[in-house]
Structure 1
């Protein structure tokens, strides 16, 4: 689809066509970084400011700069933008990518184009890939993606718990390398769904799929200490990238107005449709059984059935699935009840012994307290009784057996 006009591009997407730049056709691509999209939600006192409800370019132009750490390297990259929760077309007036330095500062930016044009429109409910751009990146390298808006965007598709700082500036600062104009900050990502690299033969991607415990809530902001980050560090320089498809608060079985579509509904987009995916590590269900989710509280049978559906969908695409046990929640008063704990125990027993997963990683066994398995070990507790701290996320990342990940090659 070379040289598509903007109307033609929108029409192609409306027909569910996959729009891939013609120049990328001979290449193999692998998802090197990603986030899972959520609908706009208000800022909260307990987590801070996000810009999703107000959107961007209310006083045009406005520039947004976002920093990500890719988990594998390659000679060129492309960027995936998301408007899946948008209700109107998203007009992007300009986009660029560069190496990230300190704060909002960057190296010399490279212009991103879309079907050969520097501006693009992402239809509501859709994602869009940029054209490839020559930009050699290394495993665990940090990139800055900058977007310029001149027309009001309305409410933004975003990812709440980015655990890293994003930057906003009034005016046109697309090519600004110093970054001093980016005085507004937020710990969320907006419209940015993925960074993909031209991958060598045999390369692939592991997707970590789940809720806040995959998303890394409780880890240090800006430190890349979520468990998928730590797993990526173990795989750095080898054949597998790691993408984090966790959403804090997300449920496996039922939608949430704040925390996105249910896991079964978003599994295709957030996992299976990403390029190069070989394996998914699935850890979902705590929010379905937690006491705070009445009347959505699910039985063990319902959660197990949901897991089986994930496995079936992955296997149909040739993707291996590692099942991760659900971790303790007794220390979180709003989540815990004896009935919820009984469900967690039954689901974990099935994950460990049911034989449905290709492999199992027993995160629960790593972090539970000896003598009271309903509680987290104190050294792994972020302080709320359910989310891990940096040490806890590192511990569960260390528990993943790398030899169970297809296409893994030792160095």
Structure 2
């Protein structure tokens, strides 16, 4: 592994990890403030509402992917006028999709809460939070796709500043509405929506300013012809399907947790936030691996591909060792970010056991994410999708089968088992693919 490659790994990974970290702060801020200042019931309500809300946010990720791919291609081809038009049309289509989903979400929300077995004493707060948040879907879609347009136009730093500003606003507005104005769960939803609304307006201003700098002006009127819509959806729909499947799986697991009562709900909501935060570094290195090895594979420098994989693995293992030790030592402090471990001892017990199991899950996650990163760089998207959805299906099936004999231990047990099996499968596939490429190079 050369020093140049090491520098590239860090140059790619640090901005990605920083952005992913700031993104995670959004949901953690909401949950932490609600849990500490409003109470256990409100935390459980908002935790469940957040899972349902994510079902209606997944389309945004698809439109972001469409912008990333199509605008980047047009930019690389020097087709600036078509690039601006494509960004404009995707932005309009995402806003329309957000409006349609608002109606669907408002109508279906009570039935969805009933379907996930949300306790009756949490339904009122969950409905209030969910409806206020979901009312802002068009704002969120425009904001997310707008940032993706900035990134695809090589303005990633501006996008990061917008994200950081939005997170800071979210924190300040949540504290204002909950602690000062005493608006409760409503205040948390309003704070998040207003933070995204303000940064959406700034994003639109920056996009308009960027468009004015183009040599050829483009009409602001969108071209939403069926041909244009199909070209956008061709890229967006696979991503939407994948993200919806994963989000639906998380919602289903939450539905199985809810019958165990408020304490289990508290512990589960908290541990999910901690796990999502802990995975950020691993995901950042996996995305770095995808970007770097795509270039190295094109150049047929397979020894460099292996070197980058090993380096990312070693750094990830060091991170896993340090973060695991710290999380076990400060387990009570981590739980205390979301609820009072002394008052909610059963919730803390659930949290602690899952956290200890997560040490093993996280170890295998290193190779899950890195293997998936290599599959993406090899453009083996079908295999990548199969392993993702296959692990999800295996995890859900195992959870359902283990619920009766293992009770709450079924959740971490199924996740660990599914992760091990799929890592073994993806590792075998990656090794075979690299060996096949090396054989072709040697023969040619």
State the TM-score, normalized to the length of structure 1: 0.34
| Bigger RCO of structures 1 and 2 (CA < 8 A, at least 6 apart) | 2
State the TM-score, normalized to the length of structure 2: 0.32
